[in-house]
Each structure stands twice: as structure tokens, then as C-alpha cells.
Amino acid sequence: MKQKAFVVLWALSVGLISGCQQLDNNSPQNATTPTIEANATINRQLAKQALNSTLAYDIVESLTVEVGPRLAGTEQDLIAVDWAVKKLTHLGFDKVYKEPVQVPVWLRGYASASITAPYPQPLVITALGGSVATPKEGITAPIIRFDDLQSLIEANAADVKGKIVFIDHKTERHRTAKGYVMTVGGRSKGAVEAAKKGAVAVVIRSIGTDHDRMAHTGMMRYQNDVVKIPAAAMSNPDADLINAMLKRQQPITLSLNLSSQNRGVATSYNVIAEVTGSTKPEEVVLISAHLDSWDEGTGAIDDGAGVAIVAAAGKLIQDLPQKPARTIRVVLYAAEELGLVGGKAYAKAHAQEMAKHYIATESDFGAGRIYQLDVKVNPEVVDKVLQEHALLSEVGVAPGNNNAYGGPDVSMLPKLGVPVASLRQDGTDYFDYHHTPNDTLDKIDPEALAQNVAVYAQFAYTMAQSTIDLRPLVQPKANQ
């Protein structure tokens, strides 16, 4: 069905639901009308409560003030776990518990860089997550610039050997994460590709859309059979500065010093809360976020906002006079920033329950308003599922497509047969603050945050009540 036509049906279905009381008693639809009416009434009630509540903002304010930055594997991480258990218990969920997760321990340490020739100037940098340190005296070497990761891969090794690789890939601004997806490979794979060609370090232009003199951190990866070299990100203005220097057509020498450390593993926890289903308690609608954050800011938009959204949505459903059919499970994952560690641990720990996971989603894209609902379900029921969420149009959400991935920590679940949904948020300014010291509470619009809660509460409740069979995700071929 064409998108424009479906939007019309979406809107019409709202009218049909709200007008269903007009059906006479002889109507063949009358037997299902009370359920439709009841669900519509409850969904509107949930939305109204969410839009008029400060609960989500209060939760993220509490997290950023009372805990602050919470890098996985650190003392602050465990403080965050304790905070989450107490907060969810205080909110009155039927069940609150935690599950242990082994997480990598990495400490940022000290980071500095400067241009030593031909125009000596300091630079603003930060170590990338997982990076090894430089020697204590640092590294000083000529830089070699590349437009992007692919240009580095295609470069002559003789040109790179002994130099510091500078990957200068600008992140474009989009409502979606499109720009980030295009540039993040330089961060995650740059050190490996540079080391393969004999580089002594790699420094990237920050993966961000801002013009602030702040560097964006984020996780990078090493490869066991490739030497590990230090990796850092510089602020966008400093990347521009280097480009201006390069126009003078003189060799540029950079000095880099990092004291970051990898310290093995530690125990953290996925924190879980449940609203027990009334008639199908063994079946799960999973709504989630990640509890950890980077250590530069206070983790307000990444992902304190998500924690607040799913906790507040779950609380609204918890307080209903009649619980929905399925269990609503709120999961706050550990160590997402260090490699989806909590998400992978959850999938492994709950492997025997995957068939009972009705649908899953994650909030991990800040606090911008949700504008579209995408799903990944049985292709034959996509239209039915989207129409079932017709009331979301009243809070500004349009029907989308069947191409959802669910969010980072649930992205592995479709391979296990679990349907997922993506509640698409407006991320136009998200990468201005992402992974920087500027990720703080003032970046959250309370009204937009409340709209997210309204959408998540309605989505979770509708899915917990749904009678649609969402599986299998891929239809078998006709000859099978």
C-alpha cells in the first residue's frame, strides 16, 4: 500500500475507533467493539497523562544530578545501577531485578595534542573509547590527511608509514542518523586500517554536526592480528584549522599524548522492571534504553532521556486499574557504549524466552519528538499493525515501514526471530551534543520528552493487547 494512501487510512481508522459507539447492536462488529473502545479510551488516557506529567524529566534530572557520567566498569556505573534499582522500585513496578553482565573496563586518562610545526597551536582532542595510550613521552610525527575511511584503505602504505593519519570526514546534519552512519566507520575502523599501513596513530574529525570546540568521543575497535595504535578525535574547528594549514602546502607535524588504559573486565548489571501481564504474563513487550554513558558529559540525551522515557511509560501502564494482557518489560542495558555488551548479554541470558518476546524496541536517540513508527514484523501483517497504532497520529506520529531495526541493544533480536519497532525521533541536533561534555540536561525539551513518553506508553500498551501474529519476520518462499 502506498504511503500517502495509508496515511489516509490511518487517519480514518482513528475516526472509526472513536466513533465505534455508534454501531447498532445488530452490527456483526459489535462483539469486538468493547475491546476497541476500551483500548482507545485507555490509549488516550495514557497520552493525556504523559503530556501533562513531568515524571520523565524528573527521572532524567535525578539521574544526571545524583549520578552524572557513568562509564561502564567504573564506580559511577555501579552507583547508576543502584540508582536504577531504587528508582524503579519506588515507581512501584510489579517486579524489579538485575542481571550481571561482564563489561570491559577502560579509563580515558589524560589527552593532549598540538601542532608543533609549521604553526604551533594547541588542539582540543579526546581519546576514543578503547584506545591504547601513547608512550609516556607521546608521539610526534607528520600527519597525512584522508577524506574518509575508504580513501585511507585505498592509500599507498609507503605514504602512510610512520605518520599520524588524519581522517577528515564531515558528518552531515539529518533528522535521522544518516550522516552518522556515513562517517562512523572512520572512528570504529580507522585505527586498524591506519595501522595496517604502518601509521603510528590516528586522529579523526569528530563525528558530530556542531561547530563547538569540543571533541566527540565514541568506541573504536582493534583487530587481534594488527598492531594497536592510539586513536583520538579532535573538535570540528580544529579539523578546520588543520585544513587551513594544509592550504599553505607545508608539512604539518602533530604531537599526541594519551594516557588511556584498558583494565580488563568488571561486573555491571542490566536492570529490569516489569508490569506483569493479566492474561498472558509469559509473553513480553520489551521497551528499553541503556543506563551507561560516556564520561565527558552527564549522559542526559545519551541515554538518560531513553531511561526516563521507558521508565515513565512503564509507570503509566503499571498504574492502570487493569493491567494489559502481556507483560511490559523495561530493560536498562549495561555498557551499550562499549559494544552493546548488555544487549548481547540479555539475548544470551533469555535465549529460551525469545519465542515469548512479542516485540521489542529501544529509545537511544535523545529526546527529540517522535514522528514515525516503523516495524519489522511478518510482511503480511504490516498494514494491520500500523493501523492498530492509528491513535498515535493524535500525538504527531505517522505510520512508517517494515524496515525497523529496533535500536542498538535490540538490533540482534530480529535474527532470533523477535519482531522489533523503531519509534523514530527527530535527531536534527542530536549529533551536536552526542558523546561530548555538552551532553547535559539543558539540551532536553521537557515537552518533547513528554511526547516520547506518550508514544511509548501507547505503543507498549497496544502491543500488550494486540491479537495480531507478528511472526515469522520473513515469509517462506512459495516452493518451500
**Residues 369-407: b if buried by 16+ CB within 10 A, e if exposed:** bbbbbbbbbbeebbeebbbbbbbbbebebbbbebebbbb
Q: Which of 193, 336, 362, 388 is catalytic?
A: 336
d(Cα 27, Cα 52) in Å, to the nearest integer?
A: 37
Phi and psi, residue 230, nearest 5°: -60, 145
Known catalytic residue at 336: yes
Q: Which alpha helices (DSSP H) does 247-392 contain, by range?
A: 305-318, 341-349, 382-388
Residue keyed to cell 487517519 = 11
Sign of CA dihedral 185, 190, 193, 197: positive
Question: Residue type at 57?
Answer: Y
- Of 427, 285, 262, which is closest to residue 362 (Cα–Cα)? 285
Q: Is 42 helix (H, G, I), strand (E, B) or coil?
A: helix
| Residue in 226, 182, 215, 365 with CA at minimum distance from that of residue 290 | 365
Beta strands in 291-380 (DSSP E): 326-333, 357-362, 370-376
> Which of 331, 329, 307, 263 shows the shortest CA–CA distance to 67?
307
Catalytic positions, please?
336
